[in-house]
Amino acid sequence: MKLSTKSEYACLALIDLAEHYAKGLIKSEDIARRKKLPKKFLDQILFTLKNSGYVKSKRGSAGGYRLAKTPSQITIAEILRLMDGALAPVYSVSTYFYEKTPIEQNKKMLKILKEIRDYVAEKLEKTTLADIVS
Amino acid sequence: MKLSTKSEYACLALIDLAEHYAKGLIKSEDIARRKKLPKKFLDQILFTLKNSGYVKSKRGSAGGYRLAKTPSQITIAEILRLMDGALAPVYSVSTYFYEKTPIEQNKKMLKILKEIRDYVAEKLEKTTLADIVS
DNA sequence: CAAATATTCGATTATTTTTATAGTCTGGCA
DNA sequence: TGCCAGACTATAAAAATAATCGAATATTTG
């Protein structure tokens, strides 16, 4: 579970939207400036977040983005799974992205990796945007 | 901390050497066959392991590889760090591979990631080859 | 010594993933 | 109508990952 730049950006963007949750629509340009993210790349990420129902948007000169749910309804786990796939250290211990991998040959090693995946999944599933807004 | 194929192969190779620890020199071909690894890629991995002092080798028709230490002296953590780098989910919470990353902007998120890195590091640092031989 | 065998080690290639940019289109507001 | 901001697709640059090749060298055995 190494976070890609993309998932770091996605988290920061959602955090920004959570921080300005009361203000209505936020322009991607403002998010990019505040969080120091490349604007066009951010647009692409927001597009993905929109398609998956985490944010809503409005076009036009008074347009922008806002969260589609309250900050406490969005967990970090779902965002990372959307952007990076499995939280697990190997696919063979992933609950949602299971796939065979060579290490499956060793049951004891697999058990340890599974414990790691469970710790990470549980921790990130109970952490919501509301918990990390600054 | 998503394991690369390479680090899975490295673990399996070392496990194989640990399983045959008493038998002296083991040919890479035998490891490749037993653990179903691509021979040439495995050779490259064994070469890295040798340069870092985890295995010793001997050439020639009666050559092969053996562990340079006892199975209980080799931790999974060091092997993964050698092959993949940081165990941490982001470099900005890595102890041995620290580097700035965007998520550092949010202290609460960073704290959670740090807890994950600590759990993973502690767990893998106390797991040795001796613990996982089958 | 010669043949066979196994590691050495750099080079190279292939593939995938990651990161990012470009550009056109479309809807909304003044 | 004309600008503004998101919508969406395409594509490309860069980096990481995965794997292969092949000649060189060392060692054992016949």
> Quick one: chain B helix, strand, coil %, rounded to 5?
60, 10, 30
CA distance A86 to A88: 5
Q: Which nucleotides of D are covered by protein (CB under 7 A)?
A: 2-10, 17-22, 25-29
Give me the mean pLDDT over the B111-133 stretch.
Answer: 97
- Is B25:B16 a contact under the CB 8 Å cutoff? no
Asked if residue A1 has pLDDT above 80, the reply is no
Query: Could you tell me if residue A57 is inside a domain?
Result: yes
Overall size of chain B counted in residues:
134
Inter-axis angle of helices A39-51 and A28-35, to 10 degrees?
120
Same domain, A31 and A58: yes
Q: What is the pTM of this model?
A: 0.95
Same domain, A67 and A40: yes
- Predicted confidence (pLDDT) per residue in B64-111, tens digit: 999 999 999 999 999 999 999 999 999 999 999 999 999 999 999 999
Domain residue limits at B117? 85-128
A49 and A21 in a single domain? The answer is: yes
- Give the tens place of pLDDT for each residue, A45-64: 999 999 999 999 999 988 99
Q: Is the pLDDT of residue B1 over 90?
A: no
The pLDDT of residue B134: 84
Note whether residue A34 is domain-resident. Answer: yes
Q: Are residues B22 and B51 in the same domain?
A: yes
Residue B80 counted as domain residue: no
The nearest CA of chain B is from the CA of A36 a distance in Å of 8
Whether residue A134 and residue B108 make contact (CB cut-off 8 A), yes or no, is: yes
Q: Do A2 and B89 touch (CB under 8 A)?
A: yes
**A12 contacts in chain B (CB < 8 Å):** 102-103, 105-106
pLDDT tens-place string over residues A57-100: 999 988 999 999 999 999 999 999 999 999 999 999 999 999 99
Contacts of A134 in chain B (CB under 8 A): 106-108
**pLDDT exceeds 90 at position A112:** yes
Tokens of A26: 């936020």
Chain mean pLDDT for chain B: 96
Beta-bridge partner residues of A67: A55
Number of separate domains in chain A: 2
Mean pLDDT across chain A: 95
Q: Is residue B134 part of a domain?
A: no
User: Of A36, A24, A49, A14, which is closest to residue A130 (Cα–Cα)?
Assistant: A14
A20 pLDDT tier (thresholds 50, 70, 90): very high
Average pLDDT over residues A10-31: 95
Residue B57 domain-assigned?
A: yes
CB B76 within 8 A of CB B11: yes
Residues A40, A12: one domain?
yes
Domain presence at residue A79: no
Same domain? For B111 and B66 the reply is: no
Provide the token pair at A87: 């939280």
The CATH number linked to A21 is: 1.10.10.10
**Distance between CA atoms of residues A123 and A75, nearest Å:** 10
Within-domain flag for B95: yes
Residue type, B58: K
